[in-house]
Amino acid sequence: MSQRELAAEVGVSVGRMHYVLGALIDKGSVKLGNFTSAQDKRRYAYILTPAGIAQKVAITGRFLARKVAEYDALKQEIDKLEAEVKGDAVAPLVRG
């Protein structure tokens, strides 16, 4: 299953899925391996480690909720900064 397919199944954006998968890899809950026999070398396998399998669903749910909240906060900050930049770019045209 690709990140795009996984994101669609879970109901989140591909960017959010990539961010959360990266966090799960950093935490040691998911291991990243590549398909050596695949022609497309960009394809990777996300494999649950024994530690990842042992985690309780509630702990994982809280972790994912925190990561989604972090992603949303970052997205809001980026949107705000982009709006400020666009506002500054338009302001001289209005004044002049």
SS (H, E, C) 35-96: CCCCCCCCCEEEEECHHHHHCCHHHHHHHHHHHHHHHHHHHHHHHHHHHHHHHHHHHHHHHC
**Residue 73 pLDDT level (bands cut at 50, 70, 90):** very high
Chain mean pLDDT for the chain: 77
Q: What average pLDDT does this structure show over 58-71? A: 85
Return the CATH number at 22. 1.10.10
Alpha carbons within 13 angstroms on the beta-carbon side of residue 52 total 15
**Residue 96 pLDDT level (bands cut at 50, 70, 90):** very low
Q: Which of 86, 17, 10 is nearest to 46 (CA)?
A: 17
Contact of 67 with 23, CB cutoff 8 Å:
yes
Q: Which domain holds residue 89?
A: 3-95
Number of domains present in the structure of the chain: 1
Residue 91 pLDDT greater than 60, yes or no: no
Q: Name the pTM for this structure.
A: 0.45
